[in-house]
């Protein structure tokens, strides 16, 4: 297996359009933590999350970007058609909504800067409302996941969460799923960095049975020790470096040379809220503001 083929990353043109090109109005919103948005690099596309629901899936096509949203989130919104009609000026056709998967809202060409600015200003408010209405009165693991990500997303800190909702890419549709983690992070240990695979627990039920620490620990070792395990870890290293570069450029930070030691990788369980009643030697306890500092744990 070629680790490069398993690496989730975007090409330089896509990265430049996010940082200073046609997609910059969106990344400016991501940089403002008050907007509570998370941007994650995927394999030739990006996902922007809000409360860990996918707000935008942005795919690069020839000369443009296709932007999609799962309108299943709109099911709890009153007068949703009124909100959907506001997206029609960007080419959206509500008759094309697909159940259970993202539906294209619009395509933005690389020279359409004014359209992009207006689109992200209008659509972000609408799509966030859909997700808010769907998740109303539910704190839940996904919202905690967002809070923890945003509190630990400084690329030059000793603990840098750079990805969420990780799912190991498959080579083909027949390949078995292997590897799901709430967060991927880099932890500084002396002069080197380690990859950290993280699981979050917020409820009592999430600590038992098929979601227990023992089950997740077994899944972690199955992932790292399987026949393709070394290739998986090399791929995670490459995308960690790529994502570190992206976040440094996005935030105007000086890039450092990172030495990521792939001989040792860590698994970390994070417990919040009622799950802290099940705290054990494999886990850390977090409360607001959810900043992870190993010197104080």
In this predicted model, what pLDDT tens digit does every residue of 219-232 receive, in sequence order? 888 888 888 889 99
For residue 52, the model assigns a pLDDT of 84
Best CA proximity match to 142, nearest among 163, 169, 165, 160: 165
Percent of the chain with pLDDT over 90: 58
Question: pLDDT at position 277, please?
Answer: 83
The predicted model scores a pTM of 0.89
From 150, 153, 184, 152, select the one nearest 167 (Cα to Cα): 184
For residues 148 and 292, membership in a common domain is answered with: yes
Instruction: Give me the pLDDT at residue 17, please.
Output: 97
Same domain for 284 and 166: yes
pLDDT-derived band at 296 (thresholds 50, 70, 90) equals very low
DSSP 208: S
pLDDT number for residue 297: 43
Where is the domain boundary, 121, 137, 153?
Answer: 137
pLDDT band at 122 (very low <50, low <70, confident <90, very high): very high
Given 88, 111, 137, which residue is the final one in a domain? 137
| Closest to 17 measured CA to CA, from 84, 72, 67, 81 | 67
Q: Are residues 106 and 158 in the same domain?
A: no
Same domain? 150 vs 288: yes
Residue 211 has pLDDT above 90, yes or no: no
Q: Please name which of 204, 177, 192, 206 lies closest in space to residue 266, comparing C-alpha atoms.
A: 192
State yes or no: pLDDT of 3 exceeds 50.
no
Are residues 129 and 20 part of one domain? Answer: yes
Outline where 97-228 has alpha helix (H).
Answer: 113-134, 140-151, 213-225
Which carries the bigger pLDDT value, residue 65 or residue 201? 65
pLDDT at 137: 47
Q: Which residues contact 211 (CB under 8 A, 6 or more apart)?
A: 201, 205
pLDDT at 22 over 90: yes
| 292 compared with 269, residue with greater pLDDT | 269
164 against 278, higher pLDDT: 164
Same domain, 200 and 89: no
**How large is the average pLDDT for residues 114-138?**
89
State how far the Cα of 38 lies from the Cα of 150, in Å rounded to an integer: 7
Q: Which of 94-103, 138-147, 279-288 has the lowest mean pLDDT?
A: 279-288
The verdict on 151 and 242 lying in the same domain is yes
Nearest to 49 by CA among 138, 140, 143: 143
Residues 266 and 186 in one domain: yes
Asked whether 33 and 150 are in contact (CB, 8 A), the reply is: yes
Residue 136's pLDDT band, with cuts at 50, 70 and 90, is: low
Number of domains present in the structure of the chain: 2
Q: From 50, 90, 88, 45, select the one nearest 70 (Cα to Cα).
A: 50
Where are the extended beta strands (E) located within the chain? 37-41, 45-50, 53-61, 64-69, 103-109, 159-167, 180-189, 192-201, 266-271, 283-285
The chain-wide mean pLDDT, for the chain, equals 87
Taking 70 as the threshold, does the pLDDT of residue 272 lie above it? yes
Question: Which helix (DSSP H) or strand (DSSP E) does residue 244 occupy?
Answer: helix 229-250
Percent of the chain whose pLDDT exceeds 70: 88
Average pLDDT over residues 80-97: 94
Mark whether 40 and 12 lie in a shared domain.
yes
Cα(227)–Cα(262) distance, rounded to whole angstroms? 16
Do 102 and 233 fall into the same domain? no
Split at pLDDT 50, 70, 90, the class of 234 is very high
* Pair (198, 118) in one structural domain: no
Quote the longest CA-to-CA distance of the chain.
56
pLDDT value at 82 more than 90: yes
Residue 144: closest CA among 286, 2, 245: 286
Q: What is the pLDDT of residue 1?
A: 47
**Domain region containing 56:** 3-137
| Residue (of 72, 80, 39) closest to 56 by Cα position | 39
Do 92 and 161 lie in one domain? The reply is no
Is pLDDT of 198 > 60? yes
* Among candidate residues 82, 108, 137, the one where a domain is terminated: 137
């Amino acid at each position: 297996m070629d680790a490069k083929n398993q690496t989730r990353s975007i090409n330089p043109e896509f990265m430049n359009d996010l940082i200073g090109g046609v997609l910059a109005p969106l990344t400016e919103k991501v940089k403002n933590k008050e907007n509570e948005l998370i941007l994650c690099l995927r394999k030739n596309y990006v996902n922007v999350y809000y409360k860990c629901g996918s707000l935008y899936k942005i795919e690069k096509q020839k000369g443009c970007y296709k932007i999609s949203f799962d309108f299943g989130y709109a099911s709890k919104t009153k007068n949703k058609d009124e909100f959907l009609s506001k997206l029609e000026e960007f080419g959206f056709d509500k008759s094309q909504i697909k159940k259970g998967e993202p539906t294209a809202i619009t395509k933005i060409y690389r020279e359409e800067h004014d359209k992009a600015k207006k689109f992200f200003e209008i659509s972000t408010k609408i799509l966030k409302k859909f997700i808010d209405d769907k998740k109303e009165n539910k704190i839940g693991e996904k919202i905690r996941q967002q809070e923890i990500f945003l509190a630990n997303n400084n690329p030059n800190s000793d603990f840098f969460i750079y990805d969420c909702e990780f799912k190991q890419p498959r080579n083909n549709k027949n390949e078995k799923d292997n590897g799901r983690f709430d967060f991927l992070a880099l932890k500084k240990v002396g002069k080197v960095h380690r990859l950290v695979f993280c699981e979050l627990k917020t409820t009592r039920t999430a600590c038992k049975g098929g979601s227990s620490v023992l089950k997740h620990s077994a899944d972690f070792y199955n992932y790292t020790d399987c026949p393709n395990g070394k290739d998986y870890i090399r791929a995670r290293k490459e995308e960690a470096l790529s994502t570190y570069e992206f976040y440094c450029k996005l935030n105007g930070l000086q890039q450092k040379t990172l030495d990521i030691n792939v001989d040792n990788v860590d698994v970390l369980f994070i417990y919040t809220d009622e799950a802290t009643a099940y705290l054990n030697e494999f886990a850390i306890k977090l409360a607001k503001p959810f900043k992870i500092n190993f010197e104080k744990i």
